[in-house]
Structures are given as C-alpha cells and as structure tokens.
Structure 1
C-alpha cells in the first residue's frame, strides 16, 4: 500500500499542468493549485513586490512558504491529492536565483509521493499571460533545473507524454494504480 498520497505534477511552465490538474479535479480528485500563481494573485491584489518580474527572491520565498503550508495541510491524505508544483520547485528556484541551499532543508524534509510527474517543454502549447511573463527558453531552463533538483532528492521522475489532456490523466492514474498492487 502506498503511504504518501500527495502527488506532485511539476515541469515546464506552460507545459499543460493546470489543464491536466483541472481534468484530474473533474474526475473527482483533490487538486492543490500552483503556489506561485497564488502568490502572484495576492501580490497583484495587494500591491506587493513579491512578483517574479519585480523581486524574484521575495516571490520564491513566499511561494516556498505557501507550498509548505499546502504540504502540511495535506500530507496525511488517504486519497490521491495532486499538487500543481511543490516545495522542491520553489527551493530549486531559490537555489538558482539567490544561492539559497534549500534543497537540503525543507525540500528534503517534506517528502511527496516517490514518483514526480513532469510536463516537458512543449512549444506548441506554450503561451505567456499576465502571470507568466518569461519566454519559452526560460521555461525550458527551469524544467532542466527541476529535473536535476527532484532527481537529487531521490524521486522517480516520469515525463508525461504529449497527449490530449484525457490521455495524460489516464497515464498518471494508470501508473499510480499500478503502484498500489
């Protein structure tokens, strides 16, 4: 029986994570929204500088705190809960942008399900928006950092194939259900 039911879907910005998580939610699963987008929403509403295009370090520290709160509120789940990114994403960003060695701290202490699902860079669906202002090259570089960060923490990395959203959801659920046996 699988002990940790908190599953991270991470990977390239603009790789279809939010659409995939909406499909999993439509199928009845609990989904935790991306901490970074929630930080941006709050910062834009409150006039805070914790925006990646204003103060990346402040943004990442706020994102790390929000991801940690999400983890603590859901880490003992009995059913699958899917996270749009996690603590490792923010810690990896802080390590890259601010030189903070957080992969050995919160990212190592708060463990998710052993399998991390990654959306690969997918230029055909990548778009910028009011909250995602970086280009595809920056998103691809972020993906490469996340592969290294999650791998360094001993997670099993599984790239989600470029399929229609229902096929992507089926792929994830099939792998998770196979692990239960």
Structure 2
C-alpha cells in the first residue's frame, strides 16, 4: 500500500468533496465520482429498497459492489497518472460499522486486496457550507459523527489520514496536490 497513485478524498456529507474533486478534474486529473448518490437516485427512481432509510444492509451491499467495480475499472484502464476517488471502499465499511451491519470476511479481504495510496484526504465538518437535499438527509450531528468514524476506519486499516483545511477551493486543491507531489 502507498505506491499507487489512487487517492481517496473522503469525509462526512456536505463538506465540499464534490467541489474539490471537480476542481482537481479541471486541473486535468482523473476523478471517480462516488457511487452512493447514484445508487440512492436510482433506487428512488425505481422505488427500490436499497436506500439508507429503507434497507441499510442492501444499500451497503449495492454501495460496496459499485465502489469495487469503479475501483477495478480504473485499475484495469489506467496504467499511469493520478486518480482521485470521491470516497473509497472503506467508506462502505465505515457505514456498515455505524449501522451495526456485520462485515463479511470476503468484504474485508476485498478491501485489503484493492488498496489506495496510503495518504487519504479527509474533509472536516464545515457547518457554514453544510446542506441537506433529497439524497443527503443526515443531520449536522450525524455529519460530524460520520467524519469521526470515517477517520477512525481509515486509520484502523493503516492509512495516513490527512485533514484538508477549511479554505477556498483553490487553496484546498493546492493543499492536496502539495501532499502528492
């Protein structure tokens, strides 16, 4: 772990991950969008049960499968260059821990068999920019708790968690890039 150029940008909901990733993409980097929002949108459209407010275990299964497929697609298609992921496989592990869903041995194995760079960028809770919407229903308190658990999960799996300061998007972008050069 650590040699790969596959970087995770994570954190609780509504902390500016997508905005940061779009800025990195504008700078020419490959960015992999998160799967959770897409899953929620699709499940809502089809009246499916794979939603965090319906069937949390099924939602976690859908999320992990989609994240693993995204990871493997990038690994198979991208031989060089830096890639930023909007959340990683461990985000699903964190969700499962938070919801007291048992984590199958196979999922733990797959997480370890598909590593990212050892440096993981985490964005802290930022109340001034936090908003809820149709897919993001967590309260501010839940968002803070998610950040704490996310940080703990990545540390438990041996990653170096680097907190991205609350700042302008340009400064946040430069902060991340200064740590991967």
| TM-score (normalizing by structure 2) | 0.91
CA distances 1:84-108 after superposition (whole Å, capped 9, x unpaired):
0010001121133143235733222
TM-superposed CA distance for 1:173, in Å, is: 0.7
Residue 71 of structure 2 is matched in structure 1 by 71
Q: Given the alignment, which residue of 113, 117, 121 partners 1:117?
A: 121
1:27 aligns with 2:27: yes
1:83-94 paired onto structure 2 within 5 Å: 83-94=85-96
Q: Which residue of 1 aligns with 2:43?
A: 43
Partners of 2:4 and 2:117 within 8 A in 1:
yes
Asked if residue 147 in structure 1 is aligned to residue 145 in structure 2, the reply is no
Instruction: Provide Cα deviations, 1:124-167, integer angstroms capped at 9, x if missing partner.
Output: 11000111011011111111111111001110110000011111
Q: Equivalents in 2 of 1:155, 1:72: separation in Å?
A: 20
Unpaired segments ≥5 residues, structure 1: none
Q: Is the 8 A contact 1:11 1:118 kept in 2?
A: yes
Deviation at residue 71 of structure 1 after TM alignment: 0.9
Q: Is the 8 A contact 1:4 1:75 kept in 2?
A: no
The aligned counterpart of 1:170 is 174
Q: What's 1:53 paired with? A: 53
Contact 2:49 2:55 in 1 (8 A): yes
Report the CA distance between 1:169 and its aligned residue. 0.6
Matching residue within 68, 81, 84 for 2:83: 81
Aligned length: 176
Q: In 1, are the aligned partners of 2:6 and 2:117 still within 8 Å (CA)? A: yes
Normalising to structure 1: TM-score of the pair? 0.91
Q: Is the 8 A contact 2:57 2:101 kept in 1?
A: no
Q: Distance in 2 between matches of 1:101 and 1:95?
A: 8
Unaligned runs of 5+ in 2: none
Is contact 1:57–1:98 with CA below 8 Å preserved after alignment?
no
